[in-house]
Amino acid sequence: MTLTMAEPMCLIENGNDGKLQVIPQALKALAQIDQRVVVVAVVGLYRTGKSYLMNKLAGKRKGFALGATVQSKTKGIWMWCVPHPVKEGHTLVLLDTEGLGDVEKGDAKNDIWIFSLAVLLSSTLVYNSMGTIDNDAIQRLHYVTELTEHIKVKSKADNEDESIEFVRIFPSFVWTVRDFTLTLEFDGKPVTADEYLDKSLQLKNGHSKKVQEYNMPRSCLRNFFPSRKCFVFERPAATEKMKELSELSDRELEPSFVEQANEFCDYIYNKAEIKTLKGGIPVTGRLLGNLAKVYVDTICSNQVPCLENAVQALSQIENANAVQRAVAHYRAKMGEWVVFPTETQEELSQIHGTMVKEALKIFIENSFKDEDQKHQLELMKVLQKEYEAICDKNIQESKKVCQSIIKRVFQPLEDRLSSGSYMSPGGYRKYSQDIQNYIRKYRSEHGRGVMAEETLKEYLEGKKKTGETILAADQSLTEAEHQMEVERARTRALEQEKQAAKEKAEIYERMMKDQQHTYNENVEQLLKKMEEERISAMREHERVVEAKLKEQHDLLKEGFKEKAELLQKEIDGLNRQREKEQVESPSLFSTILDNVGQAASLFLPGILPKVGGMAVSYMSRFFK
C-alpha distance from residue 195 to each of 215, 259, 312, 429 (Å): 18, 20, 40, 106
Between CA 558 and CA 565, with CA 559 as vertex, the angle to 5 degrees is: 110
Query: Tell me: the pLDDT tens digits for 450-468?
Result: 999 999 999 999 999 999 9
* Residue 588 belongs to some domain of the structure: no
pTM for the model: 0.81
> Which residues form the domain of 477?
400-507
- Position 389 confidence tier, pLDDT thresholds 50, 70, 90: very high
Residues 540, 276 contacting (CB under 8 angstroms) = yes
Per-residue pLDDT averaged across 520-542, rounded?
Answer: 86
* Residue 593 belongs to some domain of the structure: no
Helix (H) or strand (E) holding 301: none
Per-residue pLDDT averaged across 523-531, rounded?
Answer: 86
Is the N-terminal amide bond of 236 cis, ω within 30° of 0? no
Residues 91 and 222 in one domain: yes
Query: Tell me: the pLDDT tens digits for 493-509?
Result: 999 999 999 999 999 99
Residues 153, 78 contacting (CB under 8 angstroms) = no
* Residue 569 belongs to some domain of the structure: no
Report pLDDT for 403.
Answer: 97
- Return the bridge partners of 40, or none: 94, 124
Instruction: Assign 449 to helix, strand or coil.
Output: coil
What's the domain count of the chain? Answer: 2
- Position 37 confidence tier, pLDDT thresholds 50, 70, 90: very high
Residue 423 above 60 pLDDT?
A: yes
Residues 409 and 294 in one domain: no
The domain boundary, picked from 305, 338, 355, lies at: 305
Report pLDDT for 619.
Answer: 46
Report pLDDT for 48.
Answer: 64
* Residue 619 belongs to some domain of the structure: no
The domain boundary, picked from 266, 287, 305, lies at: 305
Rounded Cα distance between 237 and 255, Å, is 10
* Residue 558 belongs to some domain of the structure: no
Residue 347 above 90 pLDDT?
A: yes
* Residue 258 belongs to some domain of the structure: yes
Per-residue pLDDT averaged across 386-397, rounded?
Answer: 96
Query: Tell me: the pLDDT tens digits for 290-326?
Result: 999 999 998 888 888 888 888 888 999 999 999 999 9
HEC string for 203-231: CCCCCCHHHHHHHHHHHHHHHHCCCEEEE
Query: Tell me: the pLDDT tens digits for 91-145?
Result: 999 999 887 765 455 466 888 888 999 999 999 999 998 888 988 888 888 888 8
Between CA 364 and CA 371, with CA 370 as vertex, the angle to 5 degrees is: 155
Beta strands in 351-437 (DSSP E): none
What type of residue sits at position 70?
A: V
* Residue 489 belongs to some domain of the structure: yes
Mean per-residue pLDDT of the chain: 87
- Position 3 confidence tier, pLDDT thresholds 50, 70, 90: confident
C-alpha distance from residue 584 to each of 148, 372, 574, 580 (Å): 31, 17, 15, 6
Query: Tell me: the pLDDT tens digits for 469-494?
Result: 999 999 899 999 999 999 999 999 99
- Position 150 confidence tier, pLDDT thresholds 50, 70, 90: confident
- Crossing angle of helices 345-366/374-409, nearest 10°? 160
* Residue 567 belongs to some domain of the structure: no
Rounded Cα distance between 591 and 127, Å, is 46
Per-residue pLDDT averaged across 558-585, rounded?
Answer: 84
Q: Produce one character per residue of 191-223: b if its CB has 16 or more CB atoms within 10 Å, e if not.
A: eebeebbbebbebeeeeeeeeeebbbbbbbbbb
- Position 289 confidence tier, pLDDT thresholds 50, 70, 90: very high
Report pLDDT for 473.
Answer: 92
As to burial, measured by CB atoms within 10 angstroms (0-12 exposed, 13-18 middle, 19+ buried), residue 593 is buried
Report pLDDT for 246.
Answer: 61
User: In this structure, how many other beta carbons lie within 10 angstroms of the beta carbon of residue 273?
Assistant: 18
The domain boundary, picked from 273, 305, 337, lies at: 305
